[in-house]
Amino acid sequence: MKIPTVGSIPAIILNTECVYDGNLRHYFNTVFMTATNLRNGYHNFGHMFHVTFRCYEAIKYYGVTIGKRDARALLIAAMFHDFNHPGKTGNDDLNIIFALRGLNKHLLDEDRDLLPLIIEIIQATEFPYTVAGEKIAFLCQIIRDADISQVFSVSWIQTFAFGLSGEMGVCPKRMLEMQEGYLTSLRFLTAWGKATFPQNVIDTKIMEVKTLLACLD
Mean pLDDT on 80-94: 90
Q: How confident is the model at residue 3 (pLDDT cuts 50, 70, 90)?
A: low
Lowest mean pLDDT among 48-52, 91-95, 132-136: 91-95
Alpha carbon of residue 217 to chain centroid: 32
Convert the chain into a string of H (helix), E (strand) and C (coil): CCCCCCCCHHHHHHCCCCCCCCCCHHHHHHHHHHCCCCCCCCCCHHHHHHHHHHHHHHHHHHHHHCCHHHHHHHHHHHHHCCCCCCCCCCCHHHHHHHHHHHHHHHCCHHHHHHHHHHHHHHHCCCCCCCCCHHHCCHHHHHHHHHHCHHHHCCCHHHHHHHHHHHHHCCCHHHHHHHHHHHHHCCCCCCHHHHHHCCHHHHHHHHHHHHHHHHHHC
Please give the domain boundaries of the chain with CATH numbers for all domains: 1-147 (1.10.1300.10), 151-217 (no CATH)
Q: Which of 83, 54, 77, 82 is nearest to 149 (CA)?
A: 54
Mean pLDDT on 109-122: 98
Q: Which of 66, 80, 71, 67 is nearest to 26 (CA)?
A: 80
- Burial string for 157-193 (b: 16+ CB within 10 Å, else e) reads bebbbebbbbbbeeebeebbbbbbeebeebebbbebb
Whole-prediction pTM: 0.95
pLDDT, position 4? 55
Q: Which of 216, 148, 203 is nearest to 176 (CA)?
A: 216
Asked if 19 and 53 count as a contact pair (C-beta separation under 8 A), the reply is no
The predicted-structure confidence for 134-167, as pLDDT tens digits, reads as follows: 999 999 999 999 999 999 998 899 999 999 999 9
Mean pLDDT on 164-184: 94
- Give CA–CA dist 205/182, Å, rounded: 11
> What share of the chain has pLDDT > 90, as a percent?
89
pLDDT, position 48? 97
